[in-house]
């Protein structure tokens, strides 16, 4: 399970005095604990499925990517660098992002499965891609490819 991998990586980071990794992995652990607690309160399973953990980690990375330009515009380069370090640590737990060719093939397959032909179908196709490739696909790039293919 992904949760155990995070815990093991945290123990390693603490033992190796890797402060950026320790800080980031503690944030990840806290987010996982919060999610598990919310699930428990709502009567869902105590164990958060790996796919949900991957989505959560991808969202954490996206938040940091969005924050970096803001920090850079404000001249807070140290904070921007810290966000980049956190992205690097978090991304260790996600499968590699699909390359351009694999993304294109997935987009074409999703178009064929959904029968989408108009731009108004874009959301439906993206929803399917997100369900299937969460954490592994650059959805900004996928959206551009879909827009090119749909008329």
**Closest C-alpha to 7, from 38, 34, 30:** 30
* CATH number, domain 2-91: 1.10.1510
For 52, residues 6+ apart whose C-beta sits below 8 A from its C-beta are 35
Which of the 8 DSSP states describes residue 117?
Answer: -
Predicted local confidence at residue 1, as pLDDT: 84
Question: What are the start-end ranges of the E strands in 18-141?
Answer: none
Predicted local confidence at residue 46, as pLDDT: 67
Q: So where are the chain's domains?
A: 2-91, 100-149
Predicted local confidence at residue 110, as pLDDT: 95
CATH class of 100-149: mainly alpha
In which residue are the tokens 């749909």 written?
150
Predicted local confidence at residue 151, as pLDDT: 76
| Cα(150)–Cα(123) distance, integer angstroms | 12
Which of the 8 DSSP states describes residue 18?
Answer: -
| Cα(57)–Cα(49) distance, integer angstroms | 12
Predicted local confidence at residue 137, as pLDDT: 87
Q: Using CA of residue 25, residue 78, residue 97, residue 118, what is the dihedral sign?
A: positive
| pLDDT tens, N- to C-terminus, the chain (151 residues) | 888 999 999 999 999 999 999 999 999 999 999 988 887 777 776 677 888 888 899 899 989 999 999 999 999 999 999 999 999 999 999 888 899 999 999 999 999 999 999 999 999 999 999 888 876 888 889 999 999 998 7
């Amino acid at each position: 399970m992904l949760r155990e991998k995070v815990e093991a990586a945290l123990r390693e980071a603490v033992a190796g005095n890797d402060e950026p990794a320790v800080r980031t992995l503690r944030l990840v652990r806290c987010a996982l604990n919060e999610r598990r607690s919310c699930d428990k309160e709502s009567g869902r399973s105590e164990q958060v499925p790996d796919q949900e953990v991957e989505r959560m980690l991808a969202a954490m990375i996206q938040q940091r990517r969005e924050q970096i330009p803001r920090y850079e515009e404000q001249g807070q380069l140290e904070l921007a660098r810290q966000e980049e370090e956190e992205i690097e640590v978090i991304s260790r737990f996600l499968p590699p992002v699909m390359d351009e060719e694999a993304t294109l093939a997935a987009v074409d397959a999703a178009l064929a499965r959904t029968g989408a032909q108009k731009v108004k179908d874009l959301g439906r196709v993206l929803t399917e891609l997100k369900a299937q490739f969460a954490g592994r696909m650059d959805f900004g790039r996928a959206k551009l490819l879909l827009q090119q293919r749909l008329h």
